[in-house]
């Protein structure tokens, strides 16, 4: 399991309501589905952990763990 799972466990939700199905607090596999942190080898700081809805199982956004 990635370390991002533990880092995001107690953080507030980025998206409070799913825009596709309306589920409240859509948290499913938080921190486990990731993409590359960089885009076109230039942008190094983009959100890379997927926000997946528990109801419709669709990716509805991206988030990053806090920098501490």
Task: Give this prediction's pTM.
Answer: 0.76
Alpha-carbon distance values, 3 to 31, 40, 54 (Å): 8, 25, 21
Q: Tell me how far apart the alpha carbons of residues 15 and 2 are, in angstroms, rounded to a whole number.
A: 21
DSSP secondary structure of 23-65: -BS--BSTTTSB--S-BTTTB-----EEEE-TTT--EEEEE--
| Total structural domains within the chain | 1
Count of alpha carbons within 13 Å of 53, Cβ hemisphere only? 16
Mean of the pLDDT values across residues 52-61? 88
pLDDT tens digit string along 10-55? 888 888 888 888 888 767 888 888 887 766 666 667 788 898 888 8
Q: Which domain holds residue 24?
A: 1-68
């Amino acid at each position: 399991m990635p370390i991002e799972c533990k880092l995001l466990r107690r953080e507030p939700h980025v998206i409070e309501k799913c825009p596709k199905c309306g589920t409240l607090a859509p948290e499913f596999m938080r921190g486990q589905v990731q993409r590359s942190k960089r885009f076109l080898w230039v942008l190094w700081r983009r959100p890379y952990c997927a926000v997946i809805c528990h109801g419709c199982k669709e990716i509805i956004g991206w988030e990053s763990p806090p920098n501490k």
